[in-house]
Structure 1
Amino acid sequence: MNGAKSLLQDLDDAIARGTDESRTRALWHATDLLITGRYVDDEISMFGEVIGRLSEEIEVVARVQLSELMAACDHAPLNVVAQLALDDEIAVAGPVLRDSERLDEKMLVESAMTKGQSHLLAIAQRKIIGEAVTDVLVKRGDQEVVTSVAKNEGARFSGSGLLHMVRRAEGDSILAEQLGLRKDVPRHIFQQLISKASEDVRRRLESERPEMMAQIQSSVSDVTGDLQSKFGPSSRSYFVAKRVVTTQYRQGNLNQDSISNYARQHRLDEVQIGLSLLSALPVDVIERAMMDRNREILLVLCKALDFSWDTTMSLLFLGAKDHLITARELHDNERAFGRLKIETSRSVLKFYQSRKNSAGADPAQGRQPELQVH
């Protein structure tokens, strides 16, 4: 380390008293040393200080070359990579935005929030993109950016990010098709997508995703009848579901993830029984909350159980007619959910519990457990 430190100090001295030409030579010398060697973090930081200072004074062509070298370097100094990523010239920023593994989500989000569409497009082409970054891309990006990130198999999307893309896909057949071809799009999001897509897009997706289309047709048929008679306690499937979920609850394995998974699979019995156990409310109350067009009770229930918005959204879709919710309604529900306070929601839930307990529990339900506080 002492040898590298001494060499970097010599380079630093050369920067202070050298010419433009000597500084450029010093830059490439330091860059070559960095790329070809192996150093500890402190040494890499020292290289970063020197290269960072030198790169501020070089022309665009040289910065482009530096960016290409840093993008391929798995131990590139973080300050240099960040400096290049935020360069206004896309020719400079592009290589590191697309390829550098040294850029973390915070750096990528900063670039996506502050730079132009060319920078966003470069980010959209990365091998792996996290939800925090795609959330920005789908909101700020133009058609080319959003279509590019929809094609990117390494991109991961949050529930709100996917819904934003569904809204943007209205009238955009290319984006609608690319989004519909993604294997990670949940069924309820896919259903929202095809409900707004053109006939041509629906036909192509039916050809490309026959299994998803078949599931949707089946689920739509399932909810068109009388839900109470089909899914009520008298059905055999209900008792099977009750046995499975109750066992899961007694073993301590019933939680938000369980409910979310059941909801995404449109397993209404399991969802209603699970919510009943977690909230200490009878199943008929849960069923009314799920199916009521006024979603306030369901939102309060989810907030009281400290569920995430993604889980809550899955439950809203499950209880909605034909599993469809307008973008405006979903936005209003998300805002209402965000305004709810956990403690207030739990107080409301305890009030419902006390009313049901004083009225007497349904004998078929048995003794209800206490409210689960997470």
Structure 2
Amino acid sequence: MAANAPAARAAKPAGQDVTDASELASDILRKTTSLLISGPRPHAAEQLDLYDGIFARLMPQVAAERLAEFSTALAGLERAPYATARQLAAHGDIRVAAPMLAKAAVLTERDLTDIIKTAGQSHLIAIAIRKQLAEPLSDLLIGRSVPAVRMALVKNLTARFSEDTYRSLFKSAERDDELAEKLGSRTDLPAKLSRAFVAVASETARARFIKAAPLAAQATLQATPTRSASAGMRASWDYSHIKAEVAALNRSGKLRDAAVNRFVHSGDFPAAIFSLAVLSDVAVEVIEALMDDDRRAELLVACKASRLSWATASMILRGRPGCAPVPPDELDEERIRFEKLVLSEAQWKIRFGIKAN
């Protein structure tokens, strides 16, 4: 009986060796991490490579819970071992990957791009909340078409969006009230896209967007007509009082810049619209449609095709009934575009390339 005692003491439950090895690896990982964080900071790439080698041996032996703690500890380092950071960021367990994806400065745009192309929703959201997220990464995230990722991006006030990304977000927000509200709270929204959104969004989305917007922008947005309101205004325009006068001016060669300028200055916008239609040789419905807030560029093409000066074209642009005021900086941009337009190209485009919608 006594002879069997050592054997009995030596017997271990199944899997005990694996558990002991995991605990030992976890302990070494914790101590090595502490040395990396608290000890002399490694500067040379060779030193970081040494840590990479150690971590590469230890990580496969450590449970996900410990790896998550390890990832959190390394994510805040300005210079973390690169191969280790990449391995943690690509880990299938979001608890392990999230700290790296959300914070690690060592990860390159290329690293994040590769992950965005194949990762699931949780990993994408972790990237979407990164500070100072660059435009190309935002574009890629939006391209994955995941609603929760869109929302995370919009809430990240440090993320940078291209105009195309903003267009996509506004399109999604037309019928998504919560997304519309979060968009409205951003201070970097392009003003012209905001006004275009307010014109077409559902009533609830429009209201929540305007309420969340900065106070300085709320009055302008509130004054922006909806698409249905603009259509109703066009339907009420009457040209019967002006047709004969415009026809007479045209026959005598006096339907020119000065005449259109006079119509706009006197507030007779139907006369100005009808004159533009005659001068550019298109149906009046085409010019009417260009009075919408989001068709300024095409309206300027019609003005150029009608041989109007910038002074008259800008009066038309600023005087459109029911449209929000054009900010001075945007008006300067429109002037530059107008002056670059070529008469022959504008005449061709208004006659064959622009339609009434």
TM-score by length of 2: 0.60
User: Are 1:270 and 2:336 an aligned pair?
Assistant: yes
- SS at structure 1 position matched to 2:187: coil
Partner of 1:196: 200
Q: Distance in 2 between matches of 1:219 and 1:267?
A: 18
Amino acid at match of 2:159: A
Q: Is the 8 A contact 1:72 1:99 kept in 2?
A: yes
**Residue 36 (structure 2) aligned to one of 12, 34, 39:** 34
User: Are 1:294 and 2:353 an aligned pair?
Assistant: yes
Q: Which of these two proteins has the greater Rg computed from alpha carbons?
A: 2
Pair 1:192–1:291, CA change in 2 (3 A): farther
Q: Distance in 2 between matches of 1:215 and 1:45?
A: 60
Q: Distance in 1 between matches of 2:337 and 2:204?
A: 35
Q: Distance in 2 between matches of 1:214 and 1:95?
A: 41
User: Are 1:228 and 2:303 an aligned pair?
Assistant: yes
Q: Distance in 2 between matches of 1:46 and 1:284?
A: 68
User: Are 1:285 and 2:288 an aligned pair?
Assistant: no
Q: Is the 8 A contact 2:199 2:224 kept in 1?
A: no
Pair 1:43–1:293, CA change in 2 (3 A): farther
Instruction: Give the Å deviation of 1:64.
Output: 0.6
* Pairing of 1:194-343 with structure 2 (within 5 A): 194-207=198-211, 208=213, 209-210=217-218, 212-213=220-221, 220=293, 227-228=302-303, 232-234=307-309, 236=311, 265=331, 267-274=333-340, 276=341, 283-288=342-347, 291=350, 294=353
Pair 1:49–1:171, CA change in 2 (3 A): same
TM-score by length of 1: 0.58
Q: Distance in 2 between matches of 1:215 and 1:267?
A: 22
User: Are 1:101 and 2:105 an aligned pair?
Assistant: yes
Amino acid at match of 2:346: E
Q: Distance in 2 between matches of 1:225 and 1:139?
A: 32
Partner of 2:80: 76
- SS at structure 2 position matched to 1:56: helix
Amino acid at match of 1:54: L
Partner of 1:183: 187
Instruction: Give the Å deviation of 1:126.
Output: 1.5
- SS at structure 2 position matched to 1:38: coil
Pair 1:290–1:35, CA change in 2 (3 A): farther
Pair 1:152–1:211, CA change in 2 (3 A): farther
Q: Where does the alignment leave 5 or more consecutive residues of structure 1 unmatched?
A: 1-17, 240-260, 277-282, 296-319, 326-374
Partner of 1:59: 63
Q: Is the 8 A contact 1:169 1:176 kept in 2?
A: yes
Q: Is the 8 A contact 1:85 1:96 kept in 2?
A: yes
- SS at structure 2 position matched to 1:154: coil
Q: Cα RMSD over matched residues?
A: 3.6
Q: Is the 8 A contact 1:187 1:216 kept in 2?
A: no
Q: Distance in 2 between matches of 1:229 and 1:158?
A: 30
Q: Is the 8 A contact 1:134 1:157 kept in 2?
A: yes
Partner of 2:155: 151
Q: Is the 8 A contact 2:21 2:61 kept in 1?
A: no
Instruction: Give the Å deviation of 1:45.
Output: 1.9
Aligned residues: 253
Partner of 1:317: none
Amino acid at match of 1:118: S
Sequence identity (%): 25
Instruction: Give the Å deviation of 1:153.
Output: 0.9
**Residue 168 (structure 2) aligned to one of 155, 164, 170:** 164
Pair 1:104–1:262, CA change in 2 (3 A): farther
Q: Distance in 2 between matches of 1:122 and 1:60?
A: 18
Amino acid at match of 1:210: Q
- SS at structure 2 position matched to 1:102: coil
Q: Distance in 1 between matches of 2:345 and 2:328?
A: 15
Q: Is the 8 A contact 2:132 2:158 kept in 1?
A: yes
Runs of 4+ in structure 1 off by over 6 angstroms are none
Q: Distance in 2 between matches of 1:122 and 1:221?
A: 35
Pair 1:267–1:75, CA change in 2 (3 A): closer
